[in-house]
Amino acid sequence: MSAIDPVTATALAAASGDASEPSTLLDHYLPLPSSFDEMRAGDGRLRPHWQYMLESLRTLGPNSIAARSREARRLVRDNGVTYNVYGDPRGMSRPWELDPIPLLVRGDEWAELERGLIQRAELLNQILVDLHGPRQLVRKGLIPPELIDGYPGYLLPCVGAEVADNQPLVLHGADLTRDGQGRWYVLDDRAQSPSGAGYALENRVVLSRVLPSLFRDSHVHRLAGFFRAVRRALGRLAPGEPDEARIALMTPGPSNEAYFEHAYLANYLGYGLVQGSDLSVRDGALWLRTLGRLERIDALIRRVDDLWCDPLELREDSLLGVPGLLAAVRAGNLTVANALGSGVLEHPGLFSLLPRLCQHLLGEELLLPQRDTWWCGDPEARERVIERIDQVAIRQTGGLGSPRGWLGKELEGAERDALIMAIRAEPAFFVAQEVTKPSTTPAYIEGRLQPRPFVLRSFLVADQDGYVVMPGGLSRVALNQSTPIVSNQLGGLGKDTWVLATEPERQESLVVPGERGRPAVVQESEVSSRVADNLFWIGRYTERAEGLVRLLRVTLIKLGDRFNFAPEVNNSCCLNLLLQALTYQSQTYPGFVGDGAEQRLAQPTEEMLSLITNAERAGALPQTLQALGQAAWSVRDRLSNDTWRVVNAIEKSLHALTEHQPQALNGVLDVLDPLVTFLVAFAALTNENMTHNEGWHFLEAGRRLERGRDIAALLRATLVAVSGEPDETLTIEAVLGVTDSLITYRRRYRAGTRVGALLDLVFQDETNPRSLAYQLVQLQQLVDDMPRTQNQPLRSQAQKIMLRLVTDLRLAELDQLSQAAPAVDDAPARREALNRLLTSIETGLGGLSNALTAQYFRHEEQPHYLIDPRGNQEPPRPGSRA
């Protein structure tokens, strides 16, 4: 295929009646030599199924297309769609990159491709059943034993574990591209835990919003049917009744690069998102540890690789899996999708055997081509690989050293010779494959369409009569035209894939009509201890950040007053108390109270900037916001999209404070003011959008505990030491400002600012949401409503603590708390009764946190059986599943 110059391309387009194509978009759009391009044919003509797309883009115009691209980026960011590229400094916050131009595939072409994909999945499923069962393919010499037995993905503990309906390959992914003639062919199979379906769904959601008319009029096949098939498959394969099965998605955790997808799919499918630490195998079954009880799990969609799933029988150093998971599978009490041991199908050496295996197992030719592969354990193939080593890619699949890969043409002489020696020494552990040159598709880059290499990952799910294929899939586009590899970990763009129907598609949803006789409501899955722990700390970090920001704002205003007013307006005493309160509340000692405090009180700018901008300082505002983000990310599946947009806004404020650190305090309020709004919005959304179940109880308890602690620390720092009347008036007004109670104070108390009135409103008023009393009363109710087991005493330790704190506060006499003990010698007068009570409350709240942690968040395992010793087919189930 030769390149077409722009003049010729324009002339050809005009000759074909397509002179109206948007010139600014298609300027210099030239297909790459010897590559098939999705939009342009080799003679420069636009392919017919792209005509409507380009005409629509021409109608939109360059400015509108750029605006739609920005809108897509905004939606991706607001929805919290991320993909972590290892080594990227943005880490878990790296946003998913989405190209606004979809990949278009004709419906008739897709139907042919679909047949090949279904055949391939059925073939691989039969191979997997045989390798983990009778091994007839090995016995008959169709699969060399040395190809399989030395492969790390072939797990002997998984051999013999029966799988429901003989469908261990429940989910399958195949990476596809085209050759120079436009024929689809397979690059790789993804059989362990094929990822990307969630990103494909999110791509569709975003693109259908930014290009609604184009999406509707293009008659694009919908995706909901595929996900309904996933739910149907898991329910069918799980032990017991399909409609009563408890299904969860197991993730390695928030550090995984695709954690967003795990949370997104769990939410969309209505499954719980769990980690290995949430689960336990007892009496031959898998259980989710919830608060005070166990909940049976019947099926798992795993996003943890085979080796890491069971430290008892597979990789013993794994912290991601569940000891005894394989035992639960063998007992027939658990279905895992995909079955443990499915990774053997990802052996690249199997590629060379599939045509012959397809003939043997299915009695037909392999419909879908694949890239040429040579297993070096075959002497003839080995010599061919060594002769043309400069033209192939080599992969080590086992033997000495870790599995790795080489591109032959990049090897120097000595390295090349060493690789050849290694191949000759252990030929069974090396596979060579042709170096592929992916086909190209238009991508919107720098304001115009440019050809870029792409790979399409298709997805299939096992159905009762075969496999269901997602109509489309996840397309990934390389940013570099010359790259031979398209991978998310190398960066690049995601792209929606539109399979074009010949007539309008009906609207589909994952929600299906209920069946007569089926229960309309099932119990909501309970929260695990890990989730409750994270929600508890989300509440604490949110309130900790809000309290610190409120105190910082008032302190900054008072600091400005020192320089903006006449010298006779002296607020030094009030300012010093507020600065000391900052240290007490943030626990950033020595700060304004320890060694060197006098100098820092006189020149507070550097210390305050550190509190506001230093991300490495424990207790500073950036560190608290980072901890909030990490805790929120750990329970991503529990937060609504609106709530997540607020989390993103908080993260932007964090970046504004840390990435371009201000050198002076001027302008800091421009960041702190909206940050307070975001934190309040987060608290309001979690209160209004979350079901008030066990998880919400712990989040709210964390908020109330932290706010109570902050108010007690603030009152102790500002009111215990007695100062003169003018200074105390300024201090009381400052405290009222921090607690957002100034308006109520002015309306209720008409005799000026008094300590007793302040304590009445901010300390003992149970109707004021910003008072200490309100926090304690709410905490007491929350603790009383927390789950309890039958063998617990009448009152838990947490309940006893709250009973004492609320009683002490209600019995306190404000007149006594307001009175100051007389000064002794040089020591200033202090309100010791107030100090003792506030100290007691702070200590009690710390004890409450420890009591809740010990009761709900720590889980020392008690001895239990992995397998039911009585041999029961259906083990007894501790806890209720009703």
Average pLDDT over residues 600-607: 92
Whether the predicted pLDDT of 78 surpasses 70: yes
523 pLDDT higher than 80: no
Give the pLDDT confidence score for residue 566 in this predicted structure.
Answer: 47
Interacting residues of 792 by C-beta distance below 8 A, sequence separation 6+: none
pLDDT band at 535 (very low <50, low <70, confident <90, very high): very high
Backbone φ, ψ for residue 86 (5° rounding): -60, 130
Confidence at residue 460, expressed as pLDDT on a 0 to 100 scale: 97
142 phi/psi in degrees, rounded to 5: -75, -30
- Amino acid in the structure at residue 631: A
Q: What average pLDDT does range 592-600 have in this prediction?
A: 92
Average pLDDT, rounded, for the chain: 87
What is residue 484's DSSP assignment? S
One DSSP character per residue, 607-634 reads HHHHHHH-TTSTTSHHHHHHHHHHHHHH
Mean pLDDT of 743-752: 85
Instruction: Please report, rounded to a whole number, the percentage of residues in the chain having pLDDT higher than 90.
Output: 68
**Are the C-beta atoms of 68 and 207 separated by less than 8 Å?**
no
Question: Which pLDDT score, from 0 to 100, does residue 858 have?
Answer: 66
In CATH, what number does 372-435 get?
Answer: 3.30.1490
Banded pLDDT at 790 (limits 50, 70, 90):
low
- Cα 225 from Cα 237, distance rounded (Å): 18
Can you give the pLDDT at residue 489? 54
Q: 677: Cβ–Cβ under 8 A, 6 or more apart, which residues?
A: none
- Residue 721 is given by DSSP the state B
Ramachandran category for residue 345: left, alpha or beta (phi over 0 → left; psi -120 to 50 → alpha)? alpha
Q: Is 132 or 793 the better-scoring residue by pLDDT?
A: 132
Instruction: With a cut of 70, say whether residue 563 has pLDDT above it.
Output: no
Tokens coding 9? 């391309």
**Is there a contact between 218 and 496 (Cβ–Cβ < 8 Å)?**
no
The band of 560, judged by pLDDT with boundaries at 50, 70 and 90, is confident
Closest CA to 460 of 353, 352, 338, 364: 338
Task: Tell me the pLDDT band of 426, cut-offs 50, 70 and 90.
Answer: very high
Residue whose structure tokens are 């790390």:
152
- Which pLDDT does position 491 carry in this prediction? 59
> Between 842 and 26, whose confidence is greater?
842
What integer pLDDT is reported at residue 343 of this predicted model? Answer: 94
- Least reliable range by pLDDT among 108-122, 402-416, 477-491, 615-629: 477-491
Considering 92-101, 533-542, 666-675, the range whose residues carry the highest mean pLDDT is 533-542
Alpha helices in 388-528 (DSSP H): 413-425
Residue pLDDT, tens place only, 605-635: 999 999 999 999 999 999 999 999 999 999 9
Residue 669, both tokens? 């309020």
Q: Are 280 and 296 in contact (CB under 8 A)?
A: no
**Weakest-pLDDT range from 38-47, 204-213, 222-231, 624-633:** 38-47
Q: How do residues 180-196 score in pLDDT, each as one tens digit?
A: 899 999 999 999 999 99
Mean pLDDT in residue range 151-158 = 92
Which residue is listed with tokens 């990934």? 476
Cα–Cα distances (Å) from 290 to 295, 648, 706, 832, 859, in that order, read 7, 29, 24, 44, 10
Residue 316 burial (CB count, 10 A): 9
Task: Mean pLDDT check: name the lowest of 270-274, 438-442, 694-698, 750-754.
Answer: 750-754
| pLDDT bracket for residue 92 (50, 70, 90) | low
Mean of the pLDDT values across residues 656-679? 88
* Token reading at 53: 């797309």
- What pTM did the predictor assign? 0.86
289 token code pair: 């540890």
Q: Which residue has the higher pLDDT, 641 or 489?
A: 641
- Position of tokens 């469908």? 167
Instruction: Answer whether 198's CB lies under 8 Å from 459's CB.
Output: no
More confident residue, 502 or 312: 312
3-state secondary structure of 23: helix
Tokens of 800: 């006893």
Q: Is the pLDDT of residue 118 over 80?
A: yes
- Kindly give the pairing relationship between strand 299-302 and strand 293-297: unpaired
**All residues at 6 or more sequence positions from 526 whose CB lies less than 8 Å from its CB, including other chains:** 288, 290, 291, 293, 295, 693, 694
- Domain map of the chain by residue range? 6-98, 372-435, 528-690, 733-820+829-857
In the predicted model, is pLDDT for residue 199 greater than 70? yes
Greatest pairwise CA separation for the chain in angstroms: 103
* Higher pLDDT among residues 306 and 723, named by residue: 306
Q: Residue 879 has what pLDDT?
A: 36
Average pLDDT over residues 114-123: 97
Residue range 665-694: mean pLDDT, rounded:
92
pLDDT digits (tens, 9 = 90+) for 335-383: 999 999 999 999 999 999 999 999 999 999 999 999 999 999 999 999 9
Three-state secondary-structure class, residue 326: helix
What is the predicted pLDDT for the residue at 564? Answer: 57
Beta strands in 634-772 (DSSP E): none
The 10 Å Cβ neighbour count of residue 854 is 11
pLDDT tens by residue, 221-243: 999 999 999 999 999 999 988 77
Q: What percent of the chain has pLDDT over 70?
A: 87
- pLDDT greater at residue 792 or residue 313: 313
